[in-house]
Amino acid sequence: MISSERVKSLAASLGFEACGITRAEPLSEAEEEFKLWVQSGRHGTMKYLEDFESRAKKFWESFPDAKSIIVVGVNYYSDKPPPRHGNTTGRVARYAWGKDYHRVIAKRLEEFRDRLSEEAGRAVRAEICVDTKPLLERSLAQKAGLGFIGKQSQLLHPKFGPWLFLAELVTDLDLEPDTPYLGSCGSCTICIDECPTQAIRPEGGIDARRCIAYLTIEHKGEITPELRPLIGDWVFGCDLCLQVCPYAKKGKETGWTELKAESGFGPELDLVALLQISSNRAHERKFAGTALLRANRKQLRRNAEAVLENLARENF
């Protein structure tokens, strides 16, 4: 029988900086909060979130023997960006500086699954989850003892702050669970005060319809005249609520070379070059293997035009 401590040791040996375990059980309170968030319309045009409940039901029905969820964290913080190149570049959220973390982490989780089977002496069933399964990852991470959910809706880890990718192995291993992490932002409202679009609600939580990350990545239509100047020079995503968080000071350079700026396009994109991409195929070739493909050519063009306007006005 493999122990929880051995599971964590294996996770660490594969480069996962954080690892916690929780039961494969419903998260009733978190699920109800998520349902109400969607019903309020604060998910914007992300229609795939509207059938979360039915997708979750199908997932768990397909894995009736699930007993434990191993939650891992990958530190993606990097503080070595190249210098900015003048007034025709737009900023990129730190998570997209290197290669696509979905692929990078999933590959490492496959190795983790194989190692667990070797240790257990049998074929362990372990579903790999990297933003692709109907799981409330941050709530699972909190329940598995990795940190608490901040007012800006991100998990805040006591050692790595907000700079963690979360992923899971839902497994048939019966493991000892960790104690949920108890913590809160207290009276701190820095992220709420500093968000240029007021996307973070006074009581905490995100209104995606006003979030720069949503507007530049998930939103397919035009950005409204009200919000267009407020995206500033963010051409893909936004890190502002993470950067100003006191926990952000805990950032430590990632040991995952695939996630560093040198492995991808780094912290900025040439806006003129974006506008010169001539076809969807050229767009896909250029950004292959990176999270930048989450935005299509039309979206990145829209973003680049807005940022160039903002840079010309210096209105942020």
- Read off the tokens for 199: 């996307």
Question: Given 100, 131, 172, 207, which residue is catalytic?
Answer: 131
User: By percentage, how much of the chain surpasses pLDDT 70?
Assistant: 97
Q: Is residue 131 among the annotated active site residues? A: yes
Tens digit of each residue's pLDDT (9 = 90 or more) over 187-231: 999 999 999 999 999 988 999 999 999 999 999 999 999 999 999
Beta bridge partners of 200: 206
Task: Tell me which amino acid residue 106 is.
Answer: A
Cβ contacts of 152 within 8 Å, gap of 6 or more: 162, 191, 192, 195, 200, 204, 206, 241, 242, 245
Tens digit of each residue's pLDDT (9 = 90 or more) over 257-272: 999 999 999 999 999 9
- 261 with 82: CB under 8 angstroms? yes
Per-residue confidence band for 51, with pLDDT thresholds at 50, 70 and 90: very high
